[in-house]
Amino acid sequence: MTADVTEPAVRALIDAINAGDRDAFFAALTPDATMSDDGQDRDLHQWVDREIFSSQGRMSVESATDGGRSLIAGYSNATYGAMRVFWRFTLSDGKISRFETGQAGPS
């Protein structure tokens, strides 16, 4: 389903996650980007390091709408194992200015 992700910044973010490339991840974001996890705003840098890069996070897109601005994905990392999650992205000037993620429930 990654083919349904046509928004370049979202595609770059997914590719960066799966490649373990922290620099590429942040290159897809605006400098003042924010995020939330399960409805709680989090410190972006701390969250990304803990949930993605230090725990070998990987994402497999199940479905995408609006060019990938809204996703359902399989996500796994070494800390929590596999889970089904949603991601929603807000873009500004071609970069991601905010993302929201959390548990997506059963398919």
Tell me the C-alpha distance between 89 and 91, whole Å: 6
Smallest Cα–Cα separation from 1: which of 61, 66, 69?
Answer: 61
Average pLDDT over residues 10-16: 97
Instruction: Note the pLDDT tens digit of each residue in 24-62.
Output: 999 999 999 999 999 999 999 999 999 999 999 999 999
Q: What is the pLDDT of residue 105?
A: 77
Q: Is the pTM of this model over 0.85?
A: yes
Q: Identify the CATH number of the domain in which residue 34 sits.
A: 3.10.450.50
Q: Which domain holds residue 26?
A: 2-103
Q: State the total domains in the chain.
A: 1
Mean pLDDT for the chain overall: 94
Average pLDDT over residues 2-31: 95
- Assign 5 a pLDDT band (cuts: 50, 70, 90): very high
DSSP state at residue 6: -
